[in-house]
Structure formats: structure tokens, C-alpha cells
Amino acid sequence: MQHSILAIILAFIIVIILGPIIIPVLSKLKFGQMIREDGPRSHLKKAGTPTMGGILMLISLILVTFLLTRGSNNLMLAALLVTLGYGIIGFIDDFIKIVRKRSLGLRAYQKLIGQIGIAAIFAYYVYTNSIIGSSVYIPFTDTQVDLGIMYIPITVFIIVGTVNSVNLTDGLDGLAAGVTTVVAATFTLICLAYSLLLLDSGQLYYGNELSNVGIFAGALTGACLGFLRFNSNPAQVFMGDTGSLALGGAVASIAIVMKLQFFLPIMGGIYVIETLSVILQVAYFKLTGKRMFRMSPIHHHFELKGLRENKVVTLFVIATIILCLITILALN
């Protein structure tokens, strides 16, 4: 428990220290955000705000995790590599946007190939892991279900879906970081509880593995908290795809090594709603020629309905807290 709490504090401090160093560098290099032309008019003033701030969280996450675990834990290391892999995809995407001065970076199929590739490798690793295998916990029951070979495609779908959902959620100052802080903190608590139960029952190896995953989740919590210092409205820096894709990879990988991937739609309900709003908007427009929402993702809809940006972020974070409490109840 002490190591997980220490991870939160250290990750927070590192981001706070790095922020005033890295943000001016991003600004000097003209790594400014390109604002989508069809977005809310109020967002146009954000053009030029430094992006790729996800680097702050990644550096903090890597340093703290290795400092407190020494990289000796297989599941933790796998989760960290997945996070880094998605962060690299996001970095390339952000870099292309900046160099070509446009709001779109990698083509959709290019990002998808990379995302599926990382997810498939990780899913296969977990599937062949003697501790985890192909079984998953079912919410609100005390049972596990063995998915067999279907575990791999289902897990790949969950990872890619989570990564892109977090990416869609990153549309308001502090939104993705705020929501993910709550989700990561919840995972930290669950990891601690599970690891203690496993250690008490004599399952020492898996218990120690999850204890270190809890440190990783704690570092993620602290990194997100620290980033909020610079990303809350008005944002001094945006995380970019470097940050949002990495956060999605981290959240998904933690859930999977704990066999809790079916709990993600509950605790990450905001991610799900953001994604569904985009899907429904596109489908409804193709069917009727009209828009279901004023703008998607749905956080923009609320903005255009008159809610201030800070208000929308606060409401979404509160909703996430409630959803995470429901998730804890669902653990049975």
C-alpha cells in the first residue's frame, strides 16, 4: 500500500517539476495545437496552445514505475510497454499534425493497424500467461468465465475501443485527465485489495504481480493529477494523442491483467458515452440527413447547449466517481 501511495505522490511531483521545463520547450518549437474548423467557435482561441503534453505523463509514469518496482514484474512491465506503444503512435500522429499544420495526422487505417498490432501481441501474451489465461470476471457475480480462443479477439476489441474512446474524450480542458484520474485511482485501490487477498490465500506470485501493477496504477493516478495542474481550464498545454492514446492503453492493460475487462464499460462509462455519441451522430445523419446532437463527441453538445467548459468537465468527473463506486460494488 505504501508503495502505491508513494507512486501517486512521486508521479505528481515529477509532472509538476517537468511542466515548467517542457511546456516552454514545446511552445518554442511551435508544437501548437491545430483546432478543428468545425469545432465550437469558443475553441478557436486555443489554437497555438502547446500540445504533446502527454510526454510529461509518460516520463513520470516510466520513471516512478521503474524506481519503485525496478522493472522486475512481468505483468506491470507488459502494461507499461502497451502504454508506451500507444504513446508512440500518438506521438507520431501529433508530430505529423504539427509538421503539416493540419488537424489530422496519421490516416485512420494507419493508426488502426498499429493499435490492433499492439493489442494483439498483448492479448496473446496474457492468453498464454499461466496465471491469467482466458478467464475473466463477470460484473455483479463471484464467477469467472473462460472465453477460450475467443479471448484474444474480444480483448483486442476492448483495448482498441478503450484507446480510441479515451482519445475522443480528450476534447475539453482537463476532461480526459480528470476522468482518467478517477479511473486510475479506482484501479489502484482494487489492485491493492486484490493483491492482499491473494497474498493472504497463499497465491504469492500473482499477489506480488498485482501489487506492482497497483504501483503502476498509482503512478498513472499521480501523473494525471499533476497534468491537471497545467491542463485545467484555461489549459497551458494539451496532452495530444501522445497522452490520450497512452492513457487508453494504460487503463485497458491494467483492467486486462486483473481480469476486469468487462468492468471497463462501467467505470469508463464516460468513455463509452463519448464514443456512442459519435457513432449515433454519424449513423443518424446518414439515415436522416439531420444531426442527433448539436456536435459530437457529446461534451461539445453540452457546450453548445450553453454549459461552460468547466461545468461539463466537473459533471463528467462526478459521473465517473459514481460509476467507479458502482464498479466496486460490481466486484462482489
Nearest to 258 by CA among 121, 131, 85, 117: 131
Does residue 318 belong to any structural domain of this protein?
no
Q: Check whether 37 has a pLDDT greater than 70.
A: no
What share of the chain in percent tops pLDDT 70?
93
The residue range of the domain holding 252 is 2-265
What phi and psi values does residue 81 have, to the nearest 5 degrees? -65, -40
Number of domains in the chain: 1
Question: What is the helix (H) or strand (E) element at residue 163, kind and residue range?
Answer: helix 151-169
Q: What is the pLDDT at residue 259?
A: 94
Q: What is the pLDDT at residue 3?
A: 87
Does residue 84 belong to any structural domain of this protein?
yes
Least confident of 204-213, 245-254, 284-293: 204-213
Comparing 108 with 31, the larger pLDDT belongs to 108
Does residue 111 belong to any structural domain of this protein?
yes
pLDDT confidence tier of residue 87, bands split at 50, 70 and 90: very high
Does residue 229 belong to any structural domain of this protein?
yes
pTM: 0.92
Q: What is the pLDDT at residue 96?
A: 87
Q: Check whether 307 has a pLDDT greater than 80.
A: yes
Does residue 107 belong to any structural domain of this protein?
yes
Q: What is the pLDDT at residue 61?
A: 96
Look over the chain and give the mean of its residue pLDDT values, rounded to a whole number: 90
Q: Check whether 46 has a pLDDT greater than 90.
A: no
Q: What is the pLDDT at residue 40?
A: 58
Q: What is the pLDDT at residue 198?
A: 82
Count the alpha carbons within 13 Å of 143 in the hemisphere toward its beta carbon.
4
